[in-house]
Structure 1
Amino acid sequence: MQLDQTDFKILQALQTEGRISNQELADKVHLSPSSCLRRVRMLEDAGVIQQYCAVLNPEQLGLEVDAFVQVTMRRDVEKWHENFSRALQAWTEVVGSYIITGDANYLLRVRARNLKHYSHFVLERLYKTEGVLDIRSNIVLQTLKDTHQIDVSLFQGVQGN
C-alpha cells in the first residue's frame, strides 16, 4: 500500500487521539468527512491500523511490578517452541512476548500486583512449563519512556513522499 502525506497525518492524529470524531479528523487533515472516512477505512482494511484501544495505567489498577524476563529453553524437549507459545497465551500476567536473538529464546514483559504475585507466576507457571531451562528477571525500577506511538515521519521518505 502506497501511503501519502495525508495518510501519515491521519495516522499521527489517530495515534495521539484515538477517540477523535471523523469530522474533527477531517478538519485536522484538510479533507472532506467522506474522503477522510474512506482513507481511514482503507488504512484499517490494509492492516496499517490494527486496532483501537484505551491505554490503561497499570499502577492505578494496582499492578506494582513490571518485569522483563528472558527465558531460555531446553532444545532437547520435543516441540518446545509450540508448547511454550501455547502456554504463554493463557498467562494474563504476560503483556508482551517476543522471540529474541542472543542467549535467551524469549523476552517477556510481565505485570503483577506485587512481588508475591510475580514470584508465584515465575515459580508456579513459568518454571513448571516443560522445556524451560533458565529464567532471568529484570524488575523495572522506574519507567523513563513507554509508548505505542510510531513516529510516522520516519517512513515518509521510504514511501517515496
Structure 2
Amino acid sequence: MQIDAIDQRILYRLQENGHLSNQDLAEQVSLSPSACLRRVRALEDAGLIRGYRAVLDAEKLGFELEAIVHVSLDQSRPGWHEEFLAGIALHDEITEASIVTGASNYILAVRTRNLAAFSNFVEDKLSKIPGVRDLCSHIVMRKVKSRGGMLPLASWR
C-alpha cells in the first residue's frame, strides 16, 4: 500500500493517541470524518495499523523492576530455536523478545515486582529452559526515553 502525507499524519496522530475519536482525528489531519474513517480502515486492512491498546504504568501496578537479559543458547541442540521460543512463551514476565546479532542469540525485556522476584524468575524459570547456555542481565535503573511506535516520526509532522 502506498501511503501519502495524509496517511502519514493519521498514523502519527494515532500512534500518539490511539484513543482519538474519528471526529478529532479528522480535524487534526484536515479531512472530513467520513474520508478519515475510510483511510483509517484502509490502513487497518493493509496491516499498517495492527491494533489499539492501553499503555499501562508497570511501576504503579507494582512491577518495579525492569531488566534486559541477553541469552545465549546451545545451537548444537536439535530444534534449539523452536524449543527456546516455546519456553519463553510460557512466561508473562518476558514482555519483549528479540533475536539479535552479536555475542548472544536473544535479548529479552523482563518485568517483575522486585529484585527477589527477578532472581527467582531467572533461577527457577529462564535458566531452566532447555538449551540456555548463558545469561547476562542488566537491571534498568531509570528509563530516560521510552517512545514506542516507529520512526522516523519527525518527517511526518
TM-score if structure 1 supplies the norm length?
0.92
Task: Give deviations 1:73-104, integer Å, cap 9, x for gaps.
Answer: 01221111100001111110000000000010
Residue identity (%): 45
What amino acid is the match of 1:62? G
| Cα shift at 1:155 | 6.8
Report the equivalent of 1:15. 15
User: What SS is found at the alignment partner of 2:125?
Assistant: helix
CA distance in 2, matches of 1:75, 1:153: 38
Q: Report how many residues are paired.
A: 156
User: What SS is found at the alignment partner of 1:111?
Assistant: strand
Residues 2, 155 of structure 1: alpha-carbon distance in 2 compared, 3 angstrom cutoff: farther
Give the CA RMSD over aligned residues.
1.3
CA distance in 2, matches of 1:150, 1:130: 34
Moved over 2 A (4+): 149-156
What amino acid is the match of 1:105? N
Report the equivalent of 1:84. 84
Taking the TM superposition and a 5 Å limit, the aligned residue runs for 1:46-57 are 46-57=46-57
Report the equivalent of 2:101. 101
Report the equivalent of 1:159. none
User: What SS is found at the alignment partner of 1:72?
Assistant: strand
2:5 matched to 1:5? yes
Residues 56, 44 of structure 1: alpha-carbon distance in 2 compared, 3 angstrom cutoff: same
CA distance in 2, matches of 1:143, 1:27: 34
Taking the TM superposition and a 5 Å limit, the aligned residue runs for 1:123-138 are 123-138=123-138
CA distance in 2, matches of 1:58, 1:102: 29
| Cα shift at 1:24 | 1.0
| Cα shift at 1:154 | 6.0
User: What SS is found at the alignment partner of 1:60?
Assistant: coil
Structure 2's unaligned 5+ residue stretches are none
